[in-house]
């Protein structure tokens, strides 16, 4: 028994060890072209990812939409159900470490040959069964199931982060469409008024019909753009409604870009912190832990197994005397089974577990590599969107001045109306471009926050449900 206890203190198969940084490409920061956006303080990285999402997305309406989505989004609800399944599987795996005890009762009536009197036998018994985990097979199974549970919990956290980012980007798209629609409708009114004035001038014989046709074409171009923007806005509103769990047409929000606050400077932190911050990477690592533990499970199939069984009961010929005068009995047995021939099945299972573990390592490394690229891309997008916004502001300023001068020269008879229309078109396009560049900057900011794993605390995660608490 001492020997069995000693054997029970170890578990067959490799113990998990996290791959080192050099193998995972995270030993040095390398945000090429965007290092100015990274900030270190006394060797500890200051990062926007440590901030709560409510402090990053400061718009009150956006905050309300995100909070509603965290409650009503169907994908999050699906992830919560997966956690419940994984939690049950983990409890089941842990239960196999303990003996099982069953109770039973049976009654039997028999008649001996040559006898007319039947014999009754009543039996009340308990059955004990326990497979000794001398190789740690059940412990490895419990380890794998526990890792699966953690992976499901981290997956829920990753889904929350992704949902917050998608809602924010959809909200910014909607705000940009509202701005563009307002600019378009204002332009339509201006061009209609211009066409009305030109018609009056034509009636007075001041201008020809050519300028009228030019103004009509310009107005038609603006009118053609309006339904496109209305349709895009409706699609975006429906997408937002779906994300928060509402029916189409039930959302009534009118965000505007100029009213949305955002941070112009983003401290990002060190790349290596992604390992501790991004829940999708932590989920991928837990999948690796589970696959590593299952190597031990399959390896244990090569070794003998010992099972103890016992039965304790009371037996009596009279049911009423079973508890008072019944004969008690006790049986204890042990059996050992050793695989001899199974046509290579155990070897195949072991090789399968090894290959699955190697694949899980590749997936883990890939998740980290993808995270690095996502951060680099979003930082670059944010940096370039800021440059683009500055250039677009300069373009809009120049377009406004060009339009002012064109109108003045046209009134003085120096240029034709086609030049005024060209100036109006450039100014209109510049206003739409400014809306797009501001939207792109907000979307890039959201992308940085999401790619850095912002919006959750890896040490003290905020659970959606009691079973989502990460140990």
Q: Write out pLDDT tens, residues 4-58.
A: 444 445 788 899 988 875 555 554 454 444 443 443 333 344 567 677 888 888 8
Torsion, Cα 413 415 416 422, to 10 degrees, reads -140
Rg (CA), the chain: 36
Segment 434-456 mean pLDDT: 88
Give the Cα separation of 276 and 388 in Å (integer).
Answer: 33
pLDDT of 421 reads 87
pLDDT of 197 reads 84
Question: What kind and span of H or E run contains 101?
Answer: strand 100-110
Give the Cα separation of 404 and 407 in Å (integer).
Answer: 5
Strand stretches in 237-368, DSSP E: 305-316, 327-337
Give the Cα separation of 421 and 198 in Å (integer).
Answer: 12
Selection from 70, 127, 78, 79 nearest residue 102 by Cα: 127
How many CB atoms are located within 10 Å of the residue 414 CB?
11
φ/ψ of residue 181, rounded to 5: -70, -40
Per DSSP, the three-state class of 351 is: helix
Q: Average per-residue pLDDT in the chain? A: 83
pTM: 0.82
Token pair of 246 as six digits: 């509402």
Mean pLDDT is highest, among 4-18, 193-207, 263-277, 449-463, for 193-207
φ/ψ of residue 332, rounded to 5: -135, 130
Superfamily in which the 101-132+304-337 domain is placed by CATH: Outer membrane efflux proteins (OEP) (2.20.200.10)
How many CB atoms are located within 10 Å of the residue 394 CB?
11
Give the Cα separation of 415 and 180 in Å (integer).
Answer: 30
Between 337 and 352, name the one with better pLDDT: 352
Per DSSP, the three-state class of 204 is: coil
Return the HEC string of 358-413: HHHHHHHHHHHHHHHHHHHHHHHHHHHHHHHHHHHHHHHHHHHHHHHHHHHHHHCC
Q: Write out pLDDT tens, residues 107-152.
A: 887 777 666 677 777 788 788 888 888 888 999 999 999 999 999 9
Cα distances from 233 to residues 52, 56, 66, 256, 403, in angstroms, run 29, 25, 19, 13, 29
Question: What kind and span of H or E run contains 104?
Answer: strand 100-110
Token pair of 380 as six digits: 């670059």
pLDDT at 295 over 90: yes
Give the Cα separation of 430 and 424 in Å (integer).
Answer: 10
Give the Cα separation of 455 and 69 in Å (integer).
Answer: 14
Query: Using an 8 Å Cβ cutoff, are 74 and 243 in contact?
Result: no
Token pair of 432 as six digits: 């739409």
Q: Write out pLDDT tens, residues 377-411.
A: 888 888 898 899 999 999 999 999 999 999 999 88
For 8-97+136-303+348-468, CATH number?
A: 1.20.1600.10
Can you give the residue ranges of every domain in the chain? Answer: 8-97+136-303+348-468, 101-132+304-337
């Amino acid at each position: 028994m001492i020997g069995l206890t000693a054997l029970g203190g170890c578990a067959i198969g490799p113990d998990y060890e996290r791959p080192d940084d050099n193998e995972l490409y995270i030993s040095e920061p390398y945000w090429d072209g965007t290092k100015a956006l990274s900030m270190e303080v006394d060797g500890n990285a200051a990062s926007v990812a440590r901030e709560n999402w409510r402090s990053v997305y400061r718009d009150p309406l956006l905050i309300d939409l995100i909070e509603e989505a965290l409650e009503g989004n169907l994908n999050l609800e699906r992830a919560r159900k997966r956690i419940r399944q994984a939690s049950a599987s983990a409890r089941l795996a842990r239960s196999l470490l303990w003996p099982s005890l069953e109770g039973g009762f049976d009654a039997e009536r028999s008649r001996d040959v040559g006898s007319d009197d039947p014999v009754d036998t009543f039996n009340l018994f308990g059955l004990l069964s326990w497979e000794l985990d001398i190789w740690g097979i059940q412990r490895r199974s419990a380890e794998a199931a526990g890792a699966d549970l953690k992976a499901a919990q981290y997956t829920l956290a990753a889904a929350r982060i992704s949902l917050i980012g998608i809602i924010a980007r959809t909200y910014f798209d909607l705000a940009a469409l509202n701005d563009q629609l307002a600019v378009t409708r204002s332009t339509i009114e201006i061009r209609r008024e211009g066409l009305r004035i030109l018609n009056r001038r034509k009636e007075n014989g001041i201008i020809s019909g050519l300028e009228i046709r030019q103004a009509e074409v310009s107005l038609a171009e603006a009118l053609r753009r309006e339904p496109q923007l209305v349709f895009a806005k409706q699609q975006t509103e429906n997408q937002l409604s779906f994300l928060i769990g509402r029916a189409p047409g039930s959302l009534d929000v009118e965000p505007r870009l100029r009213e949305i606050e955002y941070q112009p400077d983003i401290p990002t932190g060190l790349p290596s912190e992604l390992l501790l911050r991004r829940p999708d990477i932590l989920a991928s690592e837990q999948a690796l832990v589970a696959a590593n533990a299952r190597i031990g499970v399959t390896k244990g199939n090569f070794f003998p197994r010992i099972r103890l069984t016992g039965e304790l009961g009371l037996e009596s010929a009279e049911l009423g005397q079973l508890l008072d005068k019944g004969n008690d009995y006790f049986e204890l047995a042990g059996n050992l089974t050793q695989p001899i021939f199974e046509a290579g099945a155990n070897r195949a299972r072991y090789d399968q577990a090894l290959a699955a573990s190697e694949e899980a390592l590749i997936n883990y490394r890939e998740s980290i590599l993808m995270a690095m690229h996502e951060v680099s891309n979003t930082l670059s997008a944010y940096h370039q969107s800021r440059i683009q916004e500055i250039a677009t502001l300069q373009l809009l300023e120049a377009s406004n001045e060009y339009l002012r001068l064109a109108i003045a020269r046209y009134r003085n008879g120096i240029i034709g109306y086609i030049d005024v229309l060209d100036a109006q078109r450039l100014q209109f396009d510049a206003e739409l471009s400014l809306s797009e560049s501001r939207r792109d900057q907000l979307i890039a900011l959201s992308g940085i926050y999401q790619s850095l794993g912002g919006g959750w605390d890896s040490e003290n995660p905020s659970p959606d449900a009691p079973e989502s608490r990460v140990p």
